[in-house]
Chains A and B, each alone.
Chain A
């Protein structure tokens, strides 16, 4: 004979209860609990309501877009897409920045968003971009080395494989950033500056944000 459900046990089964996929005994136990628990009843109503809203969602059509051009004939601009890069690369970047304790953030004032003038002189930009590139490059190398020398758990091994695999790509991205910038000099406009700002903002995010992401990342890696 089974005892009555606690709220926690009830909530555990509530979704299956709503969808009537519980075995008879569990179904009955949830039922019993619901007869005297207002809180779980409120949750049940919420689930019902939201579920009916969810089923009334009408899928919207994807706006027209040129897939071939997007994937196979990339134009030099916007770089945004190319820079948004890969999932793996983002992971690597976060790791790298964490490992390096983002020593560059303070010294490297590439903060366009905060500057008053919209226009940044081109040599200045080139110089800043180049220094970002160099720093990132050496940080990548040192982080990969550091990881290699650490004692390796299974999770770290997985992450390292990921690191190694996307290391070359990340380097290539950094190279592309400069090349593309040069290519786009002619069409220089507010929008190109916007894109650059975006690029650099996503390169050098503030410490807190990166730490948040890193926490999430560590949890993910522990679940590998």
Chain B
């Protein structure tokens, strides 16, 4: 189906965008398919919920679709996309935080109680760890460890300084370490 677009190797985002802007649905779907998995998994780690991740994926793609003509075409489509996604996630998490005004401490106790070794492995364990971080730290962890952006890129994405990005990252690491130690203590105590 996408043969003519990919015949000469990987089509650039820019070319797909150009074609999509010229009205090609196929090019737009090509772009969607190229990024939706990465975006979905990103949202999954940020929200910890498949339903919310799907909502965010769709919201972000719709925003991108509607604003495609404002994309400056400077070769960093992914960065643009994830900047929109991080705004959307921040907004979402803030709203959700207001809805369930629960404290971090309560979460930790609730979730670390019955945890067994297996539960903390794999995707679920990681999502549980991420879920206890403040949104701003979550972003930095995600962008550094999963999207592999440099600190300067992260700074640009989040509209903060590179130094702030670094200190948020180290604060997040520290928080995760403390939580791990809590879990270990609960396990040893049990």
Q: Which residues in A have some Cβ–Cβ distance to B below 8 Å?
A: 11-12, 15, 42-43, 46-47, 50-51, 53-54, 56-63, 65, 67-68, 70-72, 81-82, 84-88, 90, 162, 165-166, 169, 201, 209, 212-213, 216-217, 219-223
Q: Is the interface of A mostly helix, strand, loop or mixed?
A: helix
CB distance from B90 to the nearest CB of A (A): 8
Give how many B residues have a beta carbon under 8 Å from the other chain's beta carbons. 52
Do the beta carbons of A62 and B36 come within 8 Å of each other?
A: yes
Q: Provide the B164-182 mask, 1 if CB < 8 A to any CB of A, else 0.
A: 0010001001101100000
Do the beta carbons of B141 and A72 come within 8 Å of each other?
A: no
Inter-chain contact total with CB atoms closer than 8 Å: 108
User: Which residues from A are CB-within-8-Å of B40?
Assistant: 60, 62
Do the beta carbons of A71 and B28 come within 8 Å of each other?
A: yes
Do the beta carbons of A71 and B62 come within 8 Å of each other?
A: yes
Q: Which of B55-73 touch A at CB < 8 Å?
A: 57-59, 61-67, 70
What residue in chain A is nearest B166 (Cβ atoms)? A11
User: Which residues from B are CB-within-8-Å of A86?
Assistant: 62-63, 66-67
Do the beta carbons of B125 and A53 come within 8 Å of each other?
A: yes
Beyond the given pairs A57-B126, A90-B87, 13 more chain A to chain B contacts, judged by CB atoms under 8 angstroms and listed by A's residue number, are: A54-B146, A58-B122, A62-B40, A65-B58, A68-B29, A71-B61, A71-B62, A81-B62, A84-B88, A87-B67, A87-B87, A165-B70, A169-B66
Q: Which residues in B have some Cβ–Cβ distance to A below 8 Å?
A: 25, 28-29, 32, 36-38, 40-41, 44-45, 50, 54, 57-59, 61-67, 70, 84, 87-88, 90-91, 94-95, 121-123, 125-126, 129, 141, 144-146, 155-156, 158-160, 166, 170, 173-174, 176-177
